[in-house]
Amino acid sequence: MKTRHIPSMICIMVSAAVAVFPIVFIFVNSFMSGSEIVSRYSAEILPTNADDFTSHGIHFVRFGLLPREFTLNQYKQLLLQSPGYLRMFWNSVLLVVPVLIGQCVIAPLAAYAFENIKWKYKEAIFFMYIIVMLMPTQILLVPNFIVAGWLNIRESYLAIILPALFHPLGVFLIRQQLKNFPKECLEAAALDGAGPWRTYWYIVRPNLKSVVAALVVLLFADNWNIVDQAVVFIKNTFDNPLSVYLGNVVTGDPGMFFAVSVFYLIPALLVFLLGQDYLTEGIALSSVKS
C-alpha cells in the first residue's frame, strides 16, 4: 500500500484541481472591469488588445487569473442597475422553491406507503416510477407538454413546476433508505396502538432527515440548472430562469458575465456546503440496486 500512496495522492490532487479550476476562474475574473474582459477574450482585434497574439485576423484570448485592476463595478452594476438579471434570478427561485417543498412533503409519504402497502402489484407501480426516473428529460417533456396543453398552462411556470413536483427520484431515494429501517421499531409502534400516521410522524419522519437533505441537494442542483424545460415552455426572454439566460450573456453582455455567474453560483455553493455530507449518500442511494 505504501508505494501507491504518493502517486494516488497526486492523481487525486490533480483531478480535484481540474474540478475546482473553472470555478476559481470565473470568480477571479468577476473582479475585472468589463472593458478588460472584452479586450482579453473577444475574438475581434481591438485597440486595447492589438499587442496580443493574433492570427488570420482573429484575436486569441489572453488567459488571465489576475485582474489588471481590481474592481467591484460589475457587482455594483448587477445589484443596483440591472433589474433584468435580478428578475431572472428571482424567476429561478420561483421555479426551484415550490419543487423542493413539494417533493419533501409528497415523496416521503409515498415512499413510506410503498413499503407498507401489501398489494401484490405494488412493485409493478414502483417499476413505472423507476422507468420514469431513468428516462431522459427530452422524452419526459413530451407527456409534460401534452398535459400542459390539456390544463392550459403552457405559458405558465406551472408547466415546469407541476411535473417536477412528482418526479419519482424523491420517492425512489427515500424508499431505498426505508428498506434499511428496523422493522422492530414499526412493530413496536403498532403494538402501542399507533396508527400509520402517528408511526410516520413520530418514528419514520425524524429518521429520514439525512436522506431528505440528500434529496434537497440533488433536486436543487438539478432544478437550479434547469435548461431543457425552460427552452420548451418559456417564450418571453425575461421570464427565463437565469440558468438559461447566462448563455445569452456570453455574447450579449460579456463584461457582466462573470459577476452574474458568481451571483448565480452562490446559492448552489451554499446548498452544497450545507448538504455536502448528504450529497455522497444521496448519490450512493440513487444507484439502482435491486
Partner 1 sequence: MKKTKMYWLFLLPSLLGVLLFYAIPFLFSLYYALVDNMGAQEFVGLQNFIDTLTNSLFQSAVLNTTIFIGLSVPLSMALSLFLSLCLQGMKKGRVPATMLMLLPLVVPSGTIVYFWKVLFDANGLVQKCLLQMGFQHEVVAQNGWAMGVLVAVFLWKNVSYNIVLFWSGLNWIPKTYYEQMALEGAGKWKQFTNVTWIYLSPTTFVVLLMSIVNSFKVFKEVYMLYGAYPSPDIYMLQHYMNNQFLSLNMQKLSSAAYILFLVIGVVLLVVFYAQKRVTDAYQ
**Considering only residues 132-171, where is the footprint of partner 1 by CB under 8 A?**
132, 134-147, 150, 162-163, 165-166, 168, 171
Touching partner 1, residues 221-260 (CB under 8 A): 221, 224-225, 227-228, 231-232, 242-247, 250, 254, 257-258
Asked if 116 touches partner 1 (CB under 8 A), the answer is: yes
Cβ-in-10-Å burial (0-12, 13-18, 19+) of 227 comes to: middle
Cell, residue 156: 405558465
Choices 72-80, 101-109, 181-189, 206-214 (CB under 8 A): range interacting with partner 1: 101-109
Min dist CB 233 to partner 1, Å, is: 9
Q: Report the interhelical angle of 169-178 vs 83-116 (nearest 10°).
A: 40
Q: Taking the mean position of all CA atoms in its chain, how far away is CA 203?
A: 30
Are residues 148 and 233 in contact, defined by beta-carbon separation less than 8 angstroms? Answer: yes
Are residues 174 and 107 in contact, defined by beta-carbon separation less than 8 angstroms? Answer: yes
Nearer Cβ to partner 1, position 70 or 201?
201
Min dist CB 90 to partner 1, Å, is: 15
Nearer Cβ to partner 1, position 77 or 279?
279
Pick the closest to residue 243 from 139, 41, 90, 20 (CA basis): 90
Touching partner 1, residues 74-93 (CB under 8 A): none
Min dist CB 39 to partner 1, Å, is: 13
Which helix (DSSP H) or strand (DSSP E) does residue 59 occupy? strand 58-59
Min dist CB 174 to partner 1, Å, is: 11
Cell, residue 135: 428516462
CA–CA separation, 67 and 37 (whole Å): 9
Choices 66-74, 77-85, 177-185, 267-275 (CB under 8 A): range interacting with partner 1: 267-275
Touching partner 1, residues 189-218 (CB under 8 A): 195-197, 200, 217
